[in-house]
Amino acid sequence: MPKAFVYATAKVIWTFLFYGTDNNESRAHVHVGKAGVVDLAKIWLEPEVEISKKGELTDKQLVQVLEITNRFQKELLEQWAVFKAGRKVKSIRVKE
């Protein structure tokens, strides 16, 4: 499960990652969670950023994750392309 993106706030560290089985899917997406979350949210990156699966996140957390995903959509799509090409994904880290 390569970490594509890590976004840290004062209260939470969000981890955006890809699953190995995601390579079989053509539509770009990312799985998002934080410490203690087992069932991650799944967010489509194209054609628009939208929720595919809520996972264990609350509605408030989903709003925050969608805002981050929208803001960094280009970078996440670039990470998706690296992943799909079979190359090593180097995690991008952002601290708020």
Q: How confident is the model at residue 21 (pLDDT cuts 50, 70, 90)?
A: confident
Judged against a pLDDT cut of 90, whether residue 56 lies above it is answered with yes
Whole-number Å distance between alpha carbons of 61 and 83: 26
Judged against a pLDDT cut of 90, whether residue 20 lies above it is answered with no
Residue 68: its pLDDT value, please?
98
Whole-number Å distance between alpha carbons of 9 and 23: 29
Q: Tell me the C-alpha to C-alpha distance, in Å, between residue 71 and each of 7, 21, 38, 77.
A: 11, 26, 25, 12
Residue 79: its pLDDT value, please?
97
